Amino acid sequence: MSNHQGLGWAADRVPSTRRAWVEVDLGAIRRNVQAIRRLLRPSTQFMSVVKADGYGHGAVAVARTALSAGASWLAVATLEEGIQLRQAGIEAPILLFGPTICKKEIEAVAEHRLQPTVCSLDHARRFSEAGLGPIQIHLKVDTGMSRLGVAWQEAQDLLNTIRLLPNVTVASLYSHLATADAADPVTTAQQFERFARLVAMLEKQGTRPPLAHLANSAATLALPETHFDLVRIGLAQYGLYPASHLQEVVVLHPALSVKARIVFIKTVPPGTGVSYGHTFRTGRPTRLATVSIGYGDGIPRALSNRIDFLVRGRRARQVGTITMDQCLIDVTDMPDTFEGEITTLLGQDGDERISVAEWAERLGTIPYEILTVLSPRLPRIFSQD
């Protein structure tokens, strides 16, 4: 059975055979894209970043939703991600962030009409010499990230050389900000100044590519001057803020929930050790509910004894070590809880919400990591609410 169920499924139509799943509200993604677009000039294009299976939300469904809501570009990290979108019938231009270096990859890029990133003259020559063009390529410039890209001081000369190569056309010049989500603006300001200076020199010379882009989600929300011709939106389109100080800029709606069923309930006496390692021991007669989800589904084991689940809009403490396929919650104060009942690990239930940011803070990590480790064995069930 496909990992991605048909669009339009409602939460109350989840088959009783489902042990655990991810619900994705495509309506929330649509509203987020539209809200962010209102922050842009009419001429600034919106690139929807759907790498890592749409940050765990389902790349194909997210791509279709974002495009219908006003995005005009898509971006992925790997060749396989781009091919998946094309095989789903998506025709929008797709930027491939990761470098493409071997002959078979280059042939696949051309076959599936993907637009690759190049970081050097050697990269560009490989596409040119393949003779499969014209291929639209995108020149990555390193303005301070120190990961991919030609040094910003060398970009003008490299671009002039690439323009002489056959079978390739430079569609854009872009760079990536390293600290746009930080409150301290110094590094971002330096990167912006370097990129803006380069773009201005190319404009004066008459060799500026059609598109220049720099802004990720954080910069799009905080720094309008970084928008240029296009913005690349990842986390924000999924309803999460790159940093807490950006919450006042725009209202975003989280699109993802994680849910699982209670499969067994029993009461144990005080002093009972719970789960592997007995990392939790009961201090009273305790009603334990086994929930059918674990670290094999992407629930971090390091969150053991540190999170709550929602049951009928109330918080129930997770206790004991999270195991591969199950974990336990304390439902002593919820006597009506029954086997087969649905619990919410992430998302809204009644007036309570457990956010991705809450988990990320407790792990000392970022929301991106929480979202992208959710296992493919959790079916994605889509709604248009």
State the catalytic residues: 51, 276
What amino acid occupies position 274? V
| 3-class secondary structure, 209 | coil
Query: φ, ψ for residue 226 (rounded to 5)?
Result: -90, 0
- CA distance linking residue 347 with residue 57, whole number of Å: 13
Query: Within 10 Å of residue 366's Cβ, how many Cβ atoms?
Result: 17
- CA distance linking residue 301 with residue 322, whole number of Å: 5
Question: Can you say which residues are annotated as belonging to the binding site for substrate?
Answer: 147, 324
What amino acid occupies position 362? R
The C-alpha angle 109, 175, 146, rounded to 5 degrees, equals: 100
Locus of tokens 């430079």: 170
Query: φ, ψ for residue 289 (rounded to 5)?
Result: -115, 130
Locus of tokens 């956010």: 355
Query: Within 10 Å of residue 80's Cβ, how many Cβ atoms?
Result: 9
How far from 173 is each of 49, 135, 169, CA to CA, in Å? 17, 15, 11
- CA distance linking residue 30 with residue 41, whole number of Å: 19
| 3-class secondary structure, 295 | helix
- CA distance linking residue 295 with residue 127, whole number of Å: 42
